[in-house]
Amino acid sequence: MSRIFKLSTPKRNTTLRNEERLFEKEAKKIEELEETCRKLYKDAKKCSDSAAALCKCERRITQDLLASSLCQSEEQLLRHVEEWDSSIVKLDLHLQEMNSNIQKTMIEPVKKFNMIFPSLHTAKKKREQSLEEYEKWEAKVKKYQERDRTGNNIVKLHQSRKSLQPAKEEFYEQHYILMEDMPKLYDCRIDYFQPCLEALIKSQVTYNSEAYKIYSELAGQLIQENLTAENYAGLIQQKLQDIKGLSIVD
């Protein structure tokens, strides 16, 4: 009695399982990088917009005060508010310069970097489709290997093996391209973003240094000649406490 030995293959071969684990590891790093870049772009815009909004809000306060009847009737108060308003105008020039630097050295480079990810998603999707095609033909080969060796099954096995080879080659070609490109993309992030972050920090340091200088000069102009800086600070705190103690009743 003759025995027919049937060849079989694992559901997913060991090599392919290992390749998938390595791919998923690299893909996860890219997903985290994309999320970080998206947040970085959003935060950079928020930083710029918030600084501009703060300056506009402060300018609105001085403009409202200058238009008030109280300033019109109090000469000293009017002079102080005018000095405050003038300081805001000076600071606004430095703010515009900082925001321009943030736009050129942070927002635009991050936006450009983010443009890489859509094409990467397309390549990953194409790889996934080729993997499905590869596994489809691999499953067919296994199926016909396990069937009786009739003439019809042998022909289908031969056809499946013939289709399996190009599907396998197509998958591994796309797989190895991504496995080469994804680590390169991830590794280049430091060299790409370090100059951007350095420029951002320098711009913020310059702006805040000018802000400190301008407001220090303004404080010197507002302090009464017969008051020391310590006494003036104490007077401000006392006024703030008085304001907190006010109650509004019908």
- Segment holding 112, helix H or strand E: helix 108-114
What is the domain partition of the chain in residue ranges?
A: 25-225
By mean pLDDT, which of 151-155, 194-198, 210-214 is the weakest? 151-155
In this prediction, residue 129 carries a pLDDT of: 95
The alpha carbon torsion through 89, 90, 96, 97 (nearest 10 deg) reads 170
In this prediction, residue 13 carries a pLDDT of: 67
Residue 41 has pLDDT above 60, yes or no: yes
**Structure token digits, residue 104:** 């050129």
In this prediction, residue 6 carries a pLDDT of: 39
Return the CATH number of the domain spanning residue range 25-225.
1.20.1270.60
State the Cα–Cα distance between residues 35 and 147, nearest whole angstrom.
Answer: 49
In this prediction, residue 220 carries a pLDDT of: 81
State the Cα–Cα distance between residues 95 and 56, nearest whole angstrom.
Answer: 11
pLDDT digits (tens, 9 = 90+) for 88-127: 999 999 999 999 999 999 999 999 999 999 999 999 999 9
pLDDT digits (tens, 9 = 90+) for 164-208: 999 999 999 999 999 999 999 999 999 999 999 999 999 999 999
Mean pLDDT of 128-139: 93
- State what percent of residues in the chain have pLDDT above 70: 90
Whether the CB-CB separation of 105 and 194 falls below 8 Å is answered with no
- Using CA atoms, how far residue 177 sits from 28, 57, 127, 129, 170, in Å, is 17, 52, 10, 15, 11
Residue labelled with tokens 């900082």: 98
User: What is the value of pTM for the model shown?
Assistant: 0.76
Residue labelled with tokens 């935060």: 43
**Of residues 227 and 85, which shows the higher confidence score?**
85
Identify the CA nearest to 171 among candidates 9, 10, 7, 13.
13
In this prediction, residue 8 carries a pLDDT of: 40
Identify the CA nearest to 79 among candidates 218, 235, 247, 232.
218
* Confidence bin at 4 (pLDDT 50/70/90): very low
3-state secondary structure of 115: coil
